[in-house]
Amino acid sequence: MNQSGSSAGSRVNVPEARGALDNMKFEIARELGINFKQGYNGDLSSRENGYVGGYMVKRLIEQAEKQMAGK
């Protein structure tokens, strides 16, 4: 863990993007029927958390591909 108490994997390289990423996380969790809440979500399974993270990556890749294609 780093000094802020989060793992290196959850580090945001562009701090201005943190809000948009958080919104995406909650939107995807809602779409998947996973009860994400602000703050601690340690009561969720690794599988549930992994689904949300995986779908976030999928959506970010789709957005990047669209942007590179000029859409």
Q: Looking at residue 41, what is its pLDDT?
A: 85
pLDDT tens digits for range 16-43: 889 999 999 999 999 999 998 888 888 9
CA dihedral of 4, 49, 33, 42, whole degrees rounded to 10: -60
Residue 1 has pLDDT above 50, yes or no: no
Q: Looking at residue 8, what is its pLDDT?
A: 53
Helix axes 46-68, 18-32, angle to 10 degrees: 120
The average confidence (pLDDT) of the chain is 85
DSSP 69: T
Contact 56, 28 (CB under 8 A): yes
Q: Looking at residue 3, what is its pLDDT?
A: 42
End-to-end CA distance of the chain: 38
Residue 49 has pLDDT above 50, yes or no: yes
